[in-house]
Amino acid sequence: MTHDDTQDTQTTQATAGGGTAPAVPASLISLLASFDTGAYVVDAKGAVVAVNARAEKLLGRPAGDFLGRDAHELLHRSRYGATLPRAQCGMRQAYMAGRTVQSDEEWFERGDGSLVPVSWLVTPCRTDDGAARTLVLFHAPHDPEEIRTPGTRFSSPLPELERLALLAETTTQLTATLDVGQALRRLVRLVVPQLADWAVVDLVTERGGVHRSTVVHAEHGDLVRREDLEGPLPPVPEDSLLPLARALRGVSPALAGPFPHAAADSSPLTAEQSRLFAESGIHSAAVAPIRGVREVLGALTLGRAEQSEAFTADDLPLLEDICRRAGLALDNARLYERQRTVAETMQRHLLPQLPHVPGLEMSARYLAAPDASQVGGDWYDAFVLSDGATALAVGDVVGHDLDAAAGMAQMRNVLRAYAWAQEEPPSAIVARLDRAAARITDVTMATLLFARMSRAEDGRWTLSWTNAGHPPPLLVTRDGEARFLTGGHGLLLGTGLDRPRSDEETDVPPGATLLFYTDGLIEEPSRSLDEGLELLRAHAAALAEQPPARFTDLVLERTRPAGNDDDVALLTVRVPVE
């Protein structure tokens, strides 16, 4: 152990003592530094409180990745890369029970996502401060050439127990996602390098073509993607005997070999497959169709280049079982994506076109959430009232599904009807809407900011508004002064409480910009609401001179949290300088 290693370990513990994890006595830190193998210490809950430099090097993780993290969740994996259930983790059971246990055939996940085989020993220890902790010692190859990936345990055909374990893991991994891309990445990781050096996934497109979506191969324990071999494929000949063509027509799995000569089948698809084999060096392959419930979705090709052993007919049943599970998972993912796209399209069509109002410039944006909640209840509206004033609204119906989108449309239409028919202050209109919503819409709860923009005879613009539990609008002057319009607050819609609502009013000077928005623009778990509002205020102030459309885009780009899982609606209104 070098002086640098010892110093690194001491620094690691000091970081833990700084707040990430409880401090560990210096005697134990010195002990960790003395080990010429990976070592870390966990507390009574299994969280890492100290780690030595050797562990950092072996697992390719800095100390910050360890400290305060649950060691089992962070490191322990099955041979196929899945996080082990806690009930199956002998290491965790040992240190929770305070016993000394060791094991040889286990797998840890390195910082780059690759797996490394480890031998480990856990033993309880009591430090100078009297705290009960557990010491974990492990050995793992630090040279990539020494790392035995799971694929090196391959035998053909796979033993029954290994086959069942792989199929069970395939089902677990692929049914846990509704994202097509993620499902394909998980599928490839399950079979490479466990069964083959190369994996190729060809998918049938919505229009009936075929796209080579994934080509990866194993290299020093990592999966390397070959994008140069991906892309659209030629049409599939109806009479071709090429194993890939047969698989894409739904025929049973088959063995395939390199195609140095294509005299028997001169189709463009055969030429493309020959290029794949030549570029990859595959000498033996197995091809199987990926079938959904109603149609063939694509084909999976497994190839061996580095492994000398060729595929045999005994390998095909396993490949067929894997593809059957992959087909069901991809079918569900594709169906989900279609439904999500339809829902999002429907919501976009429900949002209105902004009216042309002399003396005002308007811009609006709706941005769907990036993940599962692609459709929700965020909305904006702007329309001219019967008395010539301009109604402005932004709201958020509780929920992130089709019901929320439908409720949003109902709420907007009822609000429009009341606002047009009743020349009343915003508070009276919203009070009517609140009483009616429970009876004539499917909305349970919602927030709403409703305002009237009026122009006096002398040309001055005035905004009057009421706020039903919604984030306050922002007023930005042409000089870059920004303030939130915090007045007019009341309960959100749907509480069932008949409380009075109030109105507020302010002048909107020439060149000023009003920004109405939903909470997805400012809310993020890692920061407070006040921090999100202040960030929005600062960015909007800096953008005061930008045209309304550019102002809206930049505010959205700079303010919306990177990890936001909510949709966002924005409405910008500018009073131009005459």
Residue 78 is part of a domain; what is its CATH number? 3.30.450.20
How does pLDDT run across 329-379, given as a tens digit for each residue?
A: 898 888 877 776 766 666 666 677 899 999 999 999 988 765 544 566 788
Give yes or no: residues 313 and 407 share one domain. Answer: no
Give yes or no: residues 284 and 185 share one domain. Answer: yes
Confidence of residue 258 (pLDDT cuts 50, 70, 90): confident
How does pLDDT run across 88-117, given as a tens digit for each residue?
A: 788 878 877 778 888 877 888 888 777 788
- Whether residue 15 is contained in a domain is answered as yes
Give yes or no: residues 380 and 327 share one domain. Answer: no
Burial (0-12, 13-18, 19+ Cβ within 10 Å), 57:
middle
Would you state the pLDDT for residue 8?
40
pLDDT at 432 over 60: yes
- Whether residue 289 is contained in a domain is answered as yes
Q: Which of 148, 170, 201 is the last residue of a domain?
A: 148
pLDDT at 419 over 70: yes
With H, G, I as helix, E, B as strand and everything else as coil, classify residue 69. Answer: coil
Could you please report the per-residue DSSP string of 257-268?
Answer: ---S--SS---H
- The arithmetic mean of pLDDT across residues 406-428, rounded, is 89
Q: Do 469 and 490 meet the contact criterion of CB atoms below 8 Å apart?
A: yes
Give yes or no: residues 108 and 250 share one domain. Answer: no
Instruction: Give the distance, in angstroms, between the CA of residue 138 and the centroid of all CA atoms in the same chain.
Output: 33
Highest average pLDDT, of 310-314, 320-324, 512-516, comes from 512-516
Query: What CATH number is associated with residue 530?
Result: 3.60.40.10
Q: Which residues pair with 347 in a beta bridge?
A: none
pTM for this model (two decimals): 0.51
Q: Do 340 and 376 meet the contact criterion of CB atoms below 8 Å apart?
A: no
Domain carrying residue 372: 351-574
Q: What is the DSSP letter of 159?
A: P
Taking the CB of residue 400, how many other CB atoms lie within 10 A of it?
20
pLDDT at 3 over 70: no
- The arithmetic mean of pLDDT across residues 272-278, rounded, is 91
pLDDT at 264 over 60: no
CA triplet 86, 90, 92: central angle to 5 degrees?
A: 60
pLDDT at 143 over 70: no
Q: Please name the residues in contact with 247: beta carbons below 8 A apart, sequence gap of 6 or more.
A: 253, 254, 287, 288, 289, 299
Give yes or no: residues 185 and 271 share one domain. Answer: yes
Give yes or no: residues 314 and 335 share one domain. Answer: yes
Give yes or no: residues 137 and 173 share one domain. Answer: no
Number of domains, the chain: 3
How does pLDDT run across 150-189, given as a tens digit for each residue?
A: 444 445 667 776 777 778 878 877 877 778 888 888 888 8
Would you state the pLDDT for residue 348?
64
* Residue where the block lists tokens 């390195």: 110
Would you state the pLDDT for residue 548?
94
Give yes or no: residues 126 and 159 share one domain. Answer: no
Would you state the pLDDT for residue 447?
94
Query: What CATH number is associated with residue 256?
Result: 3.30.450.40
pLDDT at 263 over 50: no
Give yes or no: residues 142 and 24 share one domain. Answer: yes
Give yes or no: residues 360 and 473 share one domain. Answer: yes
Would you state the pLDDT for residue 247?
93
The b-or-e profile of 115-144 (16+ CB within 10 A means b, else e) is bbbbebbbeeeebeeebebbbbbbbbeeee
- Whether residue 344 is contained in a domain is answered as no
How does pLDDT run across 486-526, given as a tens digit for each residue?
A: 999 999 998 888 889 999 999 999 999 999 999 989 988 76
